[in-house]
């Protein structure tokens, strides 16, 4: 299966973001890509205004998600995260859309309350750990940005059968932050013997650095500019081979809880 991480700078204007995603879906379809992974918060974002994503939030049946549902009818599954308004709350929601419907939803549980930021001032956290989902017989997991700092959540997905983990993100720049992003994506792949696809939003505030990683922790492709694509040819046979020689999931003796009581 061919998977693509499509990195870009999210605009404050949802129409601009929708136009970009439409072009990426068309290109993905032409290139034989089955699953397109987008960054975090793709409805609206402003690097100078932390409130922009929340102010731009839409209901799940609003125009932005509805348009992506229609786009998925072209044969390209779309994964990304969206700030969605439900009653008086705004949630940071990962959606996977395929064949004209939403096939998976995960509400981000680890909000970015670190490095002098406090996402929980604006966003309501999810309460349920993510579950795997299938596309064409391949089992995936999806986590969002800051989630990658919590290894038990990726391990839980791997133990539930995930062969690849998708990580939409808007990873904030700062000292060593590029190293943190790369190191943790590689670690989540290697320690769980899974493919990892990280797709980062890129602007003057966020690092981008989208990349794909194989089950032995080798970075296969990456993006260095503001806009770009990182492609992955996911080979289930490679996964079987790696897990036969490095059976960490079979050998583990202790399973940490995935969500504190």
Q: Measured between alpha carbons, how far is 104 from 242 in angstroms, rounded to an integer?
A: 27
**Would you call 40 a catalytic residue per the annotation?**
yes
Q: Does the CA dihedral 28-163-143-146 come out positive or negative?
A: negative
Contact indicator for 166, 157 with CB cutoff of 8 Å: no
24, 108, 199, 201: the catalytic one is 108
Give the start-to-end residue ranges of the domains of the chain.
2-240
pTM of the model: 0.97
Q: Measured between alpha carbons, how far is 145 from 168 in angstroms, rounded to an integer?
A: 6
Contact indicator for 186, 179 with CB cutoff of 8 Å: no
Q: For residue 256, what pLDDT is reported? A: 83
User: pLDDT digits over 22-72, tens only?
Assistant: 999 999 999 999 999 999 999 999 999 989 999 999 999 999 999 999 999
Closest CA to 10 of 51, 52, 73: 52
Contact indicator for 144, 81 with CB cutoff of 8 Å: yes
Q: Measured between alpha carbons, how far is 260 from 186 in angstroms, rounded to an integer?
A: 25
Q: For residue 38, what pLDDT is reported? A: 98
24, 40, 119, 201: the catalytic one is 40
**Would you call 74 a catalytic residue per the annotation?**
no
The strand ranges marked E within the chain are 2-7, 35-37, 77-86, 89-98, 101-107, 133-135, 138-142, 164-169, 195-200, 211-213, 219-222, 228-233
Q: For residue 50, what pLDDT is reported? A: 86
24, 119, 145, 201: the catalytic one is 145
Region 2-240: CATH code: 3.60.110.10
Q: For residue 261, what pLDDT is reported? A: 52
Q: For residue 255, what pLDDT is reported? A: 87
- In the chain, which stretches have pLDDT less than 50? none
Closest CA to 60 of 24, 38, 32, 92: 92
**Would you call 108 a catalytic residue per the annotation?**
yes
């Amino acid at each position: 299966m061919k998977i693509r991480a499509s990195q870009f700078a999210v605009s404050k204007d949802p129409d601009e973001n929708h136009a970009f995603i439409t072009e990426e879906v068309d290109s993905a379809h032409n290139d034989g890509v089955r699953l397109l992974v987008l960054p975090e918060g793709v409805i609206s974002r402003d690097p100078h205004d932390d409130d922009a994503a929340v102010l731009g939030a839409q209901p799940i049946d609003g125009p932005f998600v509805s348009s992506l549902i229609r786009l998925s009818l072209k044969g390209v599954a779309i994964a990304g995260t969206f700030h969605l308004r439900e009653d008086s709350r705004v949630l940071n929601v990962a959606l996977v859309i395929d064949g004209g419907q939403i096939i998976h939803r995960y509400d981000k549980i680890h909000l970015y309350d670190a490095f002098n930021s406090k996402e929980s001032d604006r966003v309501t956290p999810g309460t349920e750990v993510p579950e795997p989902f299938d596309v064409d017989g391949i089992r995936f997991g999806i986590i969002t940005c800051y989630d990658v700092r919590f290894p038990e959540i990726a391990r839980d997905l791997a133990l539930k059968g995930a062969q690849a983990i998708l990580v939409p993100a808007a990873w904030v720049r700062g000292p060593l932050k590029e190293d943190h992003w790369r190191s943790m994506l590689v670690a989540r792949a290697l320690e769980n013997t899974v493919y990892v696809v990280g797709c980062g939003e890129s602007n003057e505030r966020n690092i981008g650095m989208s990349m794909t990683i194989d089950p032995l922790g080798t970075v296969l492709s990456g993006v260095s500019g503001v806009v770009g694509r990182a492609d992955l040819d996911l080979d289930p046979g490679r996964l079987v081979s790696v897990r036969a020689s490095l059976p960490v999931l079979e050998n583990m003796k202790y399973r940490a809880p995935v969500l504190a009581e």
